Each structure stands twice: as C-alpha cells, then as structure tokens.
Amino acid sequence: MGTIASDRVLPPWADEVRRRYLRGEAWEFILHGNVHDVVLHEGKLVTVSEFLGSVLLAPSKDTVMLFNLSTGTRFVKRKIAVDGYEQLVLSKEPGKVLPLMERALTTEERVAVVLEYAESIVPAADVSLSSTDDRSSVITLHRWSLLRQLEKSDSIILLVAENLAELHPKLVSNPRVSTVRVPMPGKEERRALIAHVNPALGPDDVERLAEVTAGLKAVQIAAILSPSELEAAEQRAREEARKSEEKQLSAAMDKLKSLGVAFDQTQVLDKLAKERTTPVDDTRARIDQLVADRKREIIERECFGLIEFVTPQHGFDVVGGMDEVKKDLLAVAKNIREGRRGRVPMGILFTGPMGTGKTFVCEAFARECGLTAIKLKNFRSKWVGATEGNLEKILSVIQAIGQMLVIIDEGDRAFGGASDGDGDGGTSSRVIARIKEFMSDTDNRGRVLFILMTNRPDKLDIDIKRAGRLDRKVPFLYPQTPDEVMLILGAQFRKNKVKSEGALSDFAPSAGRMVGYSNADIEAIVLLAADYAGERGADAAVHTDDLARAASDYLPSRDVEMIEYMELLAVFEASNRRMLPPKYRDVPIEELQQRVQLLKLKVGSRR
C-alpha cells in the first residue's frame, strides 16, 4: 500500500482511514455520519468532499475522481489519460460510469474514486424490489472490494453516505469494506473553528462557545457566529431594549401625570437609565441566547419531528408527597450538576399506574438536574432502512450534544418483547438492540441519562431492565393515607394557582375520601372545587364546602383489578424498599409474587 496525506495533520476520522489503508485492512471504505459538513484546513473551510479529494487523496494519488448522480464525474487530479474520459465526464448513469471507473482502477496505478451520496447509487432495498441498475451497482462495488490488483496498484474507493442504514446491506456487512464514522465536531475542532470564524472573540468567549455549541455541525457554527450574524443579533437586542425603555418611560410619565406632578422628560429618562440592571450591550448573554435558540431550531429541523424538546416549568417544589422518591432523584440531580459522573445511573425506570405523576415528576427532575431534556417521538417508518436511519440520526445528535435527558414515554410500546417485531422484517429487533447498545455504553454515564416511563413493566423486553441500562426503578403509587393525599392537595393548589380559604389543614376531612385516587384524579377534584368557588365570583377562593362537594361529585374511571396489578408490578420492580409505602414495605417477596401471578391470569392480556 502507498500513503495517504501522511505528512499532514488530519482530523481523527481521516487519519483512521489513512491508518487502515496503510495496514492493508481494505481499499474500499464507507464514510458515514457528518459527511455534509465543512472542515477547517490550513485556514480555510472546505467541504468533506473537497477535503477528501484535494487534501486526503490528491498528494499521493495520480488520478482522483468524484462522482454523484447530480453532477456526474469530476476530476480533482488527472496525471494520466483515462480511457473513455469523454463518456466518463458526460454520463451520469452508474451503469455506464462504474465500468469505466473499473477500467481505470484495474489498468492504472494510484487511482482514487469517491462516490458521493452513495445511498443513491446502491440504496438499501430488497433484491426483488431493486432495479437491474441498482443490483448491478451493488455487485460492481462488492467485486471491487475483492480485487487484489487494487491493493497492488495502490488504489482506493470511498463511498460517502450520511446514514449507514440507507446503504445496501451487502456492502455494509462486507468484511472487505471498512466503515468509518465522521463524527460531529469535537471540542478542539469547535474551538479552532470559532476562533477562525470570529477572531474578535476573546479566549474566554471562545472556550465558552466551544462548550455550548456541542451538537452543531461546523457549517452551522460558522453561520451562527459569523460577525455579520452577531451584529444583526446585537441590532435586534438594541431595538428590543429601546422599545422596552420607551414603554417604561411612557408608564412612568402617565403615573406622574395622574398624580399631578410636574416633571422633566429628560430627568425621567436619566433615572430609568441609572436603574437599568441589564445593559443593552450585554454581548455574552446575547450570544449565548442566540446560540441556544439557533441550536434548538437546527436540531429540531435536522431530526424533522423525531424528537421534541421539553422545557420544564416547575421543579420539585410543586410535587406533593413521594419524599423518598424526591430525595433519591435530588441526589442524582446533584451528582449531575457537580460532575460526579460515576455516581449517576445509566438510566431510570418510572413505573406505576396511570395518573400517578410519572411525567410530572420527570419534568421536575429535568429542571432540577439542568440537563437538556428531549422526548423521543415516533421514529418508525414503513420504508426499508428508514427506521434504523432515523434512530441513528437521533442517537448521533444525542451523542454529540451530551448533557441530555432522554425521556421515553409508554416504554412498553417502544421496547416491547423481541417477538413483537417478527412481522416487520426484524426492524423492531434491530432497533431495540441498537438502543440497548447505546444505553449500556459507559462513556455516556453522566452525559446521557435515559428515563423510561411505563405502567406495564411486564411488557418490557426483560434485557432492557437490567442494571447497566436502567439502574434505578422508581415506583409511583396512588396515595395510601389521608396525609399523603393532603401533600398532593397542597401541591395541586400551588401548581394550578388555585386560591384557598384558610389553612390547608382545613381540607383534611375531604382527604379521606380521596385515598386511592390518582394524582390526576385529585387535580381534577381541585379544579372542580375551583369551578364551584367561581360560582360565587371570579376571584372567590376555594373553601372546605367546595372541596367536599367536588370530592363527593367526582367519579373516577377505575378498573380496580388492573390498577392493583399495575401497582404490584411497580412494587415488584422497585430497586429500593425504602421508596415503598408501609403497606408494601414488609410484604414477603413470595407473597407479592403470588398475587402478581394471580392478577396476571385475570388482566395480564389487557392493555
């Protein structure tokens, strides 16, 4: 084997291609991941394709060809007369271009071929659904990986595709084809890029922005932090500040006029300027907000509806009861905030009947720990390979950003037993296996935390519940005593900003009626009581008669056996006995298991 740009400083992924090539592992490579980005090289931003052709390959190869279906073949370098050159340049059909490229590869030395958008040349599809040209292209590229004369002639082929799942599996699984992932820019790359794009930024600002731009492509960072973009953002900030100042001035003058006080407009304006706590030109805060807004916008667009950002509006201060659960989760949040990654679980399972506050507590935990929280939406598709491609896109974003809380609601539907995927060609099994692999990657500990919520943990794939994936299992149960109901009542009054007449303890007589009700039921009763209070006036406060009337009037929809089954499953899954109420804390595990098995026979097949 020859050399590839051995005397140049290369990005880690390009250096990996070079080393594998020199070791003789392969002469055909698949580059996937962040392949539609730019690379900072010798003070210039070049696309990945330009980098491959001009920087990585041109110094050591006599002929470098790039091909895609849109532009056809273009030569970055050509020292020799390529047989069929005119047809090669004019044609855009793989069925005509690939044989001509093969002729050059097998008759000449030091030839490099780069196939851009390779998924459009050899797409992932069932053989029976593929066109003759697609099947021919797959066979051609597969044969190239086996041609020993390419090794002797010091030639190389690079297939470039964003999603590995969109390429034909015959190539991806070929041991003679080496796969290299192009990652999102690391912190060192981001630091160098930011300093290049905006030299006016100081070292501290560069360091901070290198941290907050994690998860963005280099081309996106360059666009956001260009001087022109920041100047536009500054102008918008100044305009908003001016409008705010005018509004304050108008309000102040109106108040003085109403009091009959003589005033000088200039003096009022000077006074407001002195009292202003946030300067208009707060550059750091402006840039941080700009980056945060654009980052969220870009990531949501790139994942095209596959994820949803969660913006929690409350912390644990509005969560009633569940003291042991909150204590445990607050300890996890503190370890995350203080960077003690080794003490952070890989994942947490929230389990219990519907309406017990799993989602509410999850959002409160997101606020307490300070992680960026996202929910996985439906990323499954009917198209071959699209589901796996969607998942890889999501995981690559999560991996690149880091410091993320990934929330998966109705986990039993997302990660049911492997048998659930028998009718979809194995897609479900592959998806579950990939997520399991990601969840158990210890490099993500303290950086990516999964919270999976379900009321039917018995329907979860048993392997996903093991330690190392979901280390903590937190039970959520209905309140078992009037005291627990009182705590939830207080939290619901605070959460919904419902005014009460007198002390909270005055509502104790009604609390006994609500034992065994879900948190959602208790919230509905509080809101109903507020409606009854509203009959006396828009701002009337809720008093004891309103709550008693609401508690008597409200009828919860209940399947008693199913709720008991879900409660016992939550108790059975709990990872800490201290989180359980006294009713279940000392129940022998054998007795609990017998009751679960009995209820499973009655209701286990229901949803």
> What does the pLDDT look like over 394-412, one tens digit per residue?
888 787 777 889 998 888 7
Is residue 124 over pLDDT 60? yes
Structural domain boundaries in the chain: 12-183, 188-291, 303-475, 477-607
Convert the pLDDT of each residue in 506-528 to its tens digit: 888 888 888 888 888 899 999 99
Work out the pLDDT band at 245, boundaries 50, 70, 90: low
Convert the pLDDT of each residue in 143-171 to its tens digit: 999 998 898 899 999 999 998 888 999 99
Q: What is the pLDDT of residue 345?
A: 92
Q: What is the pLDDT of residue 144?
A: 95
Average pLDDT estimate for 63-87:
88
Ranges of H-type helices in 283-422: 283-302, 323-337, 358-369, 386-401, 411-414
Q: What is the pLDDT of residue 370?
A: 82
Q: What is the pLDDT of residue 237?
A: 56
Is residue 293 over pLDDT 50? yes
Instruction: Evaluate whether 453 touches 410 at the Cβ level (below 8 Å).
Output: yes
Q: Which CATH class is domain 12-183?
A: alpha beta
pLDDT greater at residue 248 or residue 554: 554
pLDDT greater at residue 72 or residue 283: 72
Q: What is the pLDDT of residue 141?
A: 96
pLDDT greater at residue 252 or residue 448: 448
> What's the CATH number for 303-475?
3.40.50.300
pTM of the complete model: 0.65
Q: What is the pLDDT of residue 480?
A: 82
Average pLDDT estimate for 337-358:
89
Average pLDDT, the chain: 83
Instruction: Evaluate whether 596 touches 569 at the Cβ level (below 8 Å).
Output: yes
Instruction: Evaluate whether 159 touches 141 at the Cβ level (below 8 Å).
Output: yes
Work out the pLDDT band at 330, boundaries 50, 70, 90: very high
Q: CA angle, 584 as apex, 583 and 588 as ends, to 5°?
A: 130
Residues 6+ apart with CB under 8 A from 117: 68, 69, 70, 160, 161
pLDDT greater at residue 416 or residue 443: 443
Is residue 281 over pLDDT 50? no
d(Cα 382, Cα 496) in Å, to the nearest integer? 41
d(Cα 70, Cα 93) in Å, to the nearest integer? 10
Residues 6+ apart with CB under 8 A from 307: 299, 300, 374, 375, 376, 377, 394, 397
Work out the pLDDT band at 332, boundaries 50, 70, 90: very high
Amino acid at 318: V
Work out the pLDDT band at 257, boundaries 50, 70, 90: low
Average pLDDT estimate for 275-304:
64
Pick the CATH number of 477-607 from 3.30.930.10, 2.60.40.1180, 1.10.8.60, 3.40.50.1100: 1.10.8.60
Q: What is the pLDDT of residue 255?
A: 66
Q: What is the pLDDT of residue 607?
A: 63
Convert the pLDDT of each residue in 10-68 to its tens digit: 899 999 999 999 998 999 999 999 999 999 998 899 999 999 999 999 999 999 999 99
The yes-or-no answer to whether 12-183 and 303-475 have a common fold is yes
Is residue 173 over pLDDT 50? yes
Burial tier of 374 (Cβ tally within 10 Å: 0-12, 13-18, 19+): buried
Q: What is the pLDDT of residue 420?
A: 47
- Which residue has 């208790």 as its token pair? 522
Is residue 208 over pLDDT 70? yes
Q: CA angle, 159 as apex, 154 and 164 as ends, to 5°?
A: 140
Q: What percent of the chain has pLDDT over 90?
A: 30
Q: What percent of the chain has pLDDT over 70?
A: 84
- Which residue has 């539609």 as its token pair? 36
Q: What is the pLDDT of residue 419?
A: 45
Q: CA angle, 341 as apex, 335 and 343 as ends, to 5°?
A: 65
d(Cα 555, Cα 505) in Å, to the nearest integer? 24
Question: Nearest CA to 457 among 465, 445, 449?
Answer: 465
Q: What is the pLDDT of residue 235?
A: 57
pLDDT greater at residue 215 or residue 541: 541
Q: What is the pLDDT of residue 306?
A: 77
Q: What is the pLDDT of residue 273?
A: 55
Is residue 312 over pLDDT 50? yes
